[in-house]
Structure 1
Amino acid sequence: MAELGATRQAHSGRISLDPDKVESGLAQLVLTVVELLRQLMERQALHRVEDGSLDDEAIERLGLTFMRLDERMKELKEVFGLTDEDLNIDLGPLGKLL
């Protein structure tokens, strides 16, 4: 209990937020979610291609979409100074996210 009181005293002032770090942290979280969704969508698209449920035009559109998304993700990671490893969040006992 004394430890909790000491922690409260140490942190009893204002919260100091660095806007640059907040922006970077938010960008990391958002890009991680986008990357996770991209990987899931890509797997689903591959299954549909393998099943033969997509015509050539749809396959072409999917390929172009994933290429553009990959390019944009690279640009955004560069803007925020993030790497692929930065997006691979450690979930503790569950392991890495991506």
Structure 2
Amino acid sequence: TGASFVFILTYLHILRGLNYSFSYLPLSWYSGLIIFFIFIVTAFMGYVLPWGQMSFWGATVITNLLYFIPGLINWVCGGFIINDPTLKRFFVLHFIFPF
């Protein structure tokens, strides 16, 4: 798919940066890591959007990682469980995050 191709190119770009001179421009390296994190979050939200069985349980596992921060799970899921508000929020964030 298109997302797999983007991640392959991203990994190749990271490896090129590791091979050549990432230590000369640390600010550029850190901004690249932030962009990579945004790619991962956007891809996860896109994975959840079909709302099948695998998507539901993937969303459940990943959002359970957020339980250690009080109040964050309510903001992300719209409640204490994965439900329709969660899907709507993931759709909006999946659309807005790349911009």
TM range (shorter): 0.3 to 0.5
Scaled by the length of structure 2, the TM-score of the pair is: 0.44
Q: Which has the higher contact order (CA 8 A, sep 6+)?
A: 1
Scaled by the length of structure 1, the TM-score of the pair is: 0.44
